[in-house]
A and B are shown apart, each in its own frame.
Chain A
Amino acid sequence: MAGRQVAVIDYGMGNVWSVLSAFRYLGGEATLTDDPDQIITADFLVLPGVGSFRKAMDSIRKAGMDKAIHEAVKIRGSKILGICLGMQLLAAFGSEDGETAGLGLIGNRVDPFTPLELGHRKLPHVGFNTVRFNEQAGLFRDLPGQPDFYFVHSYRMLIENLVGRHAICSYGTDFLAAFETENICGTQFHPEKSQTNGLTLLRNFLYL
């Protein structure tokens, strides 16, 4: 099982240290990189992040990392896991600060929770919340039936036409909490902040 090398993509936003620590806890060799060449050759890519969709896409494009991610995922078949904002960046569009194109690895949109969905609920959606799966395998193997994960976000993705395995969380509306479609994975929650539930999911990612 030795030698899982994980490249954690650094574009200057969010808590990358905890992501590195979680993979290292599992015994993976996690390194932080903003080098397109290193991104292209990595077998396991992780795109973390907290913050603004537009700012994040700007930094990623400026560094030429968007092309590197595409080549790695679409041509080389590398596995990618987007976490929180990182998952949202995998989508086609985000409506934060005006319409911004994402990496487009999946066709979904990222929009804010609407007032109608929220009702009396507070924003951001912060804290541990329960998710449920359509299939408990792959990325979701060995997890409890309805595990708790840590979320912090004000924007959400819906399932739309996404195929493959997914997890749903309810916060006024049923939104996409995590997915695995071919070699592309994302979690709206923070597995690196979700105790052993999160560690199990990160381990599963490295087994995919």
Chain B
Amino acid sequence: MLKKRVIFTLLYDRGSFMLSRNFRLQKVGNLQWLKKNYDFSKIAFSIDELIILDVSRSERDEKMFCEHVKKLTEECFVPITAGGGIRSVVQSRRLLCSGADKIVVNSLLAANPALVFVLASEFGRQCIVASVDARRSADGYEVWMYNGGRLQDGSLGDWLTNLMDLPIGELYLNSMDRDGTGQGYDFALLDHLPRPMPIPVILAGGAGKYQHLADGLSEQRVDAVATAHLFNFVGDGLEHARIGLIGSGHNLPVWDRNTAQEMKDIFKR
């Protein structure tokens, strides 16, 4: 049976990894710091997928971002999705040659849907993850683009329905209200999904502890749960969460984390 997924999302801003709360960023540390203090290798063997988003608020350095993706994926053997500010085929290919399997697009979906078709014909629609940032409003939800900087016309439901006409492989649905708060996912977002929903849904925004991941995975409309909360799942936090989730019967893939060290450099001994 096809498994659900626990995804870790890393937020990147010009050489640093960030914590986000309601889309306001706080610097955590650079790559070296992440590997050392946050034991990234441990996190890497406790997740089903890694998403790396360039959320740089000022001008992006694409080359440097690709270098970071490469470094992160050297010892991370799960599907990798990368994105943030993608505007061309060349830029996408560069990410896909740096260890990424899929690319994330968000503002591009509104700014240049024609390019989304080009990307899909070049790399396949399974390669394209549509990211949507939604915020509660007086009468439902509104959609924001450009790192939450620009309001999109229309409701969340309308926007999601429109997206289904584009060649996309997955939906990354993020709550701006819950982002980084650790208050749990906003399941009401799911009520705005098209029915039937033809592609997998990744729910993001708000997971702060084990129970939130469990709640997300229990929701039938959710195929994957994502968390970007570095602090809450630091060290073996995510590992324990995973063991707990599998132990309580959640439909996640299983592997033996302990053999990772045995396998490292086995052909150099």
Shortest 7 CB-CB distances between A and B: which pairs? A128-B253, A148-B253, A27-B268, A27-B267, A27-B265, A128-B3, A195-B255
Residues of A within 8 A of B (CB): 1-4, 14-18, 21-22, 24-28, 50-51, 122, 124-130, 144, 147-148, 150, 152, 154, 171, 190, 192-200, 203, 206
Cα A147 to Cα B45 in complex, Å, equals: 15
Show 12 residue pairs from A and B whose CB-CB distance is below 8 angstroms, ordered by the A residue. Answer: A1-B269, A18-B80, A21-B74, A27-B265, A27-B266, A122-B200, A124-B125, A144-B255, A152-B101, A171-B2, A194-B78, A195-B78
CB distance from A117 to the nearest CB of B (A): 14
A residues within 8 A CB of B99?
15, 17-18, 21
Contact status B123-A51, CB under 8 Å: yes
Whether A22 pairs with B77 at a CB distance below 8 angstroms is yes
CA distance A31 to B212 in the complex (A): 43
- Using A17-B70, A27-B269 as known contacts, say yes or no to A194 and B77 having CB atoms under 8 A apart: yes
A-B contact count (CB 8 A): 139
Number of interface residues of B (CB under 8 A): 46
Flag if B169 contacts A129 (CB, 8 Å): no
Instruction: Across the interface, name the chain A residue whose C-beta is closest to B198.
Output: A122
Q: Kindly state whether residue B259 has any CB partner on chain A within 8 Å.
A: yes
B47 CB to nearest A CB, Å: 9
- Known A-B contacts A196-B260, A199-B77, A199-B263; the reply to A148 vs B98 at CB < 8 A is no
Q: Does B157 make an interface contact (CB < 8 A)?
A: no
Within the complex, which residue of A26, A129, A154, A194 is in contact with B263, where a contact is CB–CB below 8 Å?
A26
A124 to B79, CA, bound (A): 15
**A148 touching B254 in the complex, CB below 8 Å, given contacts A127-B200, A128-B3, A129-B1:** yes
Q: Are B265 and A198 in contact (CB under 8 A)?
A: no
